[in-house]
Structure 1
């Protein structure tokens, strides 16, 4: 297992080095800091989304669920659309980056906790009920979004369209520091509770018999999930199926039930996918298509495959 981590680590170093140096033209004192900001954002988003997916699957007791499938990305787009609808596109575009980040993060954390709390009220073994809950909430958010978008001035729709996809080319350095601090705290707390997650993976009844406070562990995990997803989404935008994609790959690389190696492996794979993918799109193929589109296509295909195969916990 350590050998596999070394291989992933070497691949990550190669991707980071190529990302920083490939096609560099101009003074290095300008190119390196500019690319380093994007590299840090990609790494932060990858580690945070992979960790949030592992936490969410631990609580839901299922390997094919992720926060995005429960309608979180639809919630973000609805919030953005509502802001443009009530405040106007120019007002939203000219808002302070710090204020926009704080409001978006706060609203999404509250909304995510309300959304994810349905897991605690539902049957933990009822897969279809959990999936249908996410579909219903997602359909509701999208319906409200479509209604507001039909009433918005077409000239202001570009603000919504820009924010509907993850963007790694324009990152506020100050916001990156704030997001990194919040995510670092959440990642640290997640690492501390890794052994409790192992116990929770045995099942609610077994975990309770072993003395684990299941309700508290689930609430902590969902709170950390909400914080990680809200911060990264407010920072760069939604990346719907990234978590499901990288965690599914991580379970193939480290086929164990312990969460410590799974968290590390999923984080490494997520950073390789984002940094390597952005390198190929931006520098090699020189494409303008957002990387999130391809990730959602591949991740969505994996979700359908797992669902049809009945691959459940």
Structure 2
């Protein structure tokens, strides 16, 4: 994270990075040897962005680590139940049609509302179609995701062509919205979700063995699954609302984690969160410096690296 703050279009010494941070936090007062511009780059631009990358990476990896044993599907990831499509719909609506009616928080608010709406719609479709089993619940999510994605594409088609480049960048993932005032939401969602899920780690171990085994262990399978689906959807909605749609983190990191620490979710959940945070910080650093001073959408980096690493993981498991 220190390197990610120091490196970019303008490289800043590591000592200067920590000097600014310690001064701002009033931990150790150091006589400034840096310019006001360097201080602004570190404190106002890069540090919030790096923290947001860590929160989002940890959150997406955590959701993937929960959904894979929950659905017993190795391809499950945070975008499985249409949450990402719902968030994209809300963000596109704000960017192309309503304008920034709530100021800088408009896009995250609309994206989060879209994610919540998609989650509610999936649960409603599952109830209407009596989709109590995990396979049918996932299929309901896939169907809703396609419908919402089609509506989002319609919004793009009807929107102002001059503003569509911002939508494309957001849909490919980006951390340009990072501000100190926004960090509380993904931060609280991450740590609150991690605490709750750690208490459910033993239940997740049971669900991974199958519904019959989980029931014999005393678990209320359908209720527990819906509760965990809702929690992961909320966590995904918060993360996607501030970062856009970033792929492969929630799919790839849990598999790498299980290669390292096994399948016990008491170990998998915190390690996956740590690896996800580290991985997305590095991916964002690469996205910022590879074509500097321009930013490459971070989803391009995670897709390229994630796809290759996932093939390697599959090969090792074989």
TM-score, normalized by length of structure 2? 0.77
**1:59 pairs with one of 56, 65, 70:** 70
Q: Cα deviations across residues 40-80 of structure 1 (Å, max 9, x unaligned)?
A: 10110011111111121222122211132443323322233
1:20 matches 2:5: yes
Q: Cα deviations across residues 267-301 of structure 1 (Å, max 9, x unaligned)?
A: 12212211122223324663632121121244456
Alignment partners' CA distance in 2, 1:123 and 1:303:
28
Which residue number in structure 2 is paired with residue 107 of structure 1?
Answer: 114
1:41 matches 2:52: yes
Which residue number in structure 1 is paired with residue 28 of structure 2?
Answer: none
Alignment partners' CA distance in 1, 2:94 and 2:109:
14
Alignment partners' CA distance in 2, 1:239 and 1:223:
20
> Which 5+ residue runs of structure 1 have no aligned equivalent?
1-15
Which residue number in structure 2 is paired with residue 144 of structure 1?
Answer: 151
Q: CA deviation at 1:191?
A: 1.4
Q: Considering only aligned residues, what root-mean-square deviation do their CA atoms show, in Å?
A: 3.2
Alignment partners' CA distance in 2, 1:273 and 1:280:
11
Between stretches 98-107 and 42-51, larger displacement belongs to 98-107
Which residue number in structure 2 is paired with residue 204 of structure 1?
Answer: 211
Alignment partners' CA distance in 1, 2:65 and 2:84:
17
Structure 1 residues 149 and 304: CA distance shift in structure 2, 3 A: farther
Aligned residues: 287
Poorly superposed stretches of 4+, deviation over 6 Å: 301-307
Which residue number in structure 1 is paired with residue 264 of structure 2?
Answer: 258
Between stretches 58-67 and 46-55, larger displacement belongs to 58-67
Q: Cα deviations across residues 83-114 of structure 1 (Å, max 9, x unaligned)?
A: 456xx2xx424532335433432331231243
Structure 1 residues 97 and 179: CA distance shift in structure 2, 3 A: farther
Alignment partners' CA distance in 2, 1:74 and 1:300:
21
Structure 1 residues 152 and 39: CA distance shift in structure 2, 3 A: closer
**1:277 pairs with one of 263, 270, 283:** 283
1:230 matches 2:237: yes
> Which 5+ residue runs of structure 2 have no aligned equivalent?
14-33
TM-score, normalized by length of structure 1? 0.78
Report if the CA contact (8 A) 2:88-2:111 is conserved.
Answer: no
Q: Cα deviations across residues 200-227 of structure 1 (Å, max 9, x unaligned)?
A: 2221111111111222321221121011
Q: Which secondary structure state, in structure 1, belongs to the residue aligned with residue 182 of structure 2? A: helix
Q: Which secondary structure state, in structure 1, belongs to the residue aligned with residue 183 of structure 2? A: helix
Q: Which secondary structure state, in structure 1, belongs to the residue aligned with residue 64 of structure 2? A: helix
Name the larger-Rg structure.
Answer: 2
Q: Cα deviations across residues 149-187 of structure 1 (Å, max 9, x unaligned)?
A: 222232342442342232223312111113312332122
Q: Which secondary structure state, in structure 1, belongs to the residue aligned with residue 218 of structure 2? A: coil
